[in-house]
Amino acid sequence: MVKLTEDQFDLYTYKNTGKTISVRSFTWENENKISVQVITYGATVTSIKVPDKAGVVKEIATGFKDLAGYQNSENPYFGATVGRVANRIGDGQFKLFDEIIQVSKNLGKHQLHGGFVGFDKVVWEYFVDGNKVIMSYHSSDMEEGYPGDLVVHTIFELTDNNEFRVEFKATTTKPTYVNLTNHSYFNLAGHNTGASELYKHVVCINADQITAVDKDSIPTGTLLPVADTVFDLQIPKVLGNLINKVPHTGGFDQNFCITKGPEQETTFVARVYHPESGRVLEVYSNQPGVQFYTSNFFPENPATYKGDKSKLKTLTGKDGNYYKHGAFCLETQNWPDAPNHENFPKSILRPGETYYHYVAYKFSVKN
């Protein structure tokens, strides 16, 4: 039996009106001692606690202790619902039929994760339906440059069989592009155990190709086979043996093209295992891609950094600091920059259609 409780996480004040509202938190706990918390700010996953093979429960998701942390400009999208278009839009523009659409550019000359005020930076409405929490947001026409009034629903649920399920649904009043994701970061040894433990993780991703990118991590349109490369994770590999061999990015930050049959909807995406704790995470989704990211842009750890330590930044989480390679993401998604590549899966949403994205994070323990 799963228990669901609601509480106040923090207070949010709208800058334009001065109105203060309550940011609500929802916490599930099942009989297997797994718990998950989400909040209405950014439809964000703030906590995932999972027992190890000895029954010891630890926090495995990075995050902050209060709303100020999530509102901080240094927040790397911890646990957030990201949109209207996740990942990158090259040059901040794309062609929609015969019109060039210019969206906001919050990453140099490109757009990242929906722009300056994406879905991660707003307070969502909510409704509780049994064991499900449904969060909703109305993205106005031309918000961050995207056409169409978009109504988005993110549906969260924890089950008795240790699956944390997330569904995204969206409808629009005008043709537009949509590509949503959840941006949770994990470390199965414990959220603050750092790179030394992350390197012990064993990773498997069901993909035989990745999308090639340029120096700005913008897809070129070319698909690269992973065979005989550092990106071949079709057979489980120890992360520490590979992470520092990834060219250019200082770790993994690639879109893996998921292998699935033409009639398949939901399929196996990835499996990550931490041998010492025995914790296992499996990801299943209906999306054609997953961005595997290993926190390459987190601050360097001063204990191991050999450069000028006075210039190091700090990223303080809910229980200590987070450092480079301290956590990983598996962001299920359409392929990035899809509007600009005719050979990529369709990402246009038209009036009368419903965007649908399903992802399940299944937790288990291997003795």
Catalytic residue among 153, 183, 191, 341: 183
Does the annotation count 331 as an active-site position?
yes
Q: What is the CA radius of gyration of the chain?
A: 20
Give φ, ψ of 91 to 5 degrees. Answer: 60, 15
What's the residue count for the chain?
A: 367
Is 25 annotated as ligand-binding? no
Got the DSSP string for 308-347? -GGG----EETTEE--TTS-EEEEEESPTTGGG-TTSPP-
Do the beta carbons of residue 158 and residue 49 sit within 8 Å?
A: no
Do the beta carbons of residue 145 and residue 115 sit within 8 Å?
A: yes
Sign, CA dihedral 176-350-141-133, equals negative
What single DSSP character describes residue 41?
A: B
Is 88 annotated as ligand-binding? yes
Is 87 annotated as ligand-binding? yes
Is 183 annotated as ligand-binding? yes
Is 199 annotated as ligand-binding? no
Do strands 93-96 and 88-89 pair parallel, antiparallel, or not at all (unpaired)?
Answer: unpaired
Do strands 267-273 and 202-205 pair parallel, antiparallel, or not at all (unpaired)?
Answer: antiparallel
Do the beta carbons of residue 318 and residue 63 sit within 8 Å?
A: yes
Do the beta carbons of residue 312 and residue 302 sit within 8 Å?
A: yes
Sign, CA dihedral 12-13-17-18, equals positive
Is 214 annotated as ligand-binding? no
Does the annotation count 341 as an active-site position?
no
CA angle 132, 289, 238 (to 5 degrees): 95
Catalytic residue among 144, 331, 341, 357: 331
Distance CA 105, CA 313 (A): 24
Sign, CA dihedral 114-157-152-12, equals negative
Do the beta carbons of residue 156 and residue 166 sit within 8 Å?
A: yes
Annotated binding site for beta-D-galactose: 87-88, 183-185, 253
Annotated binding site: 87-88, 183-185, 253
Catalytic positions, please? 183, 331
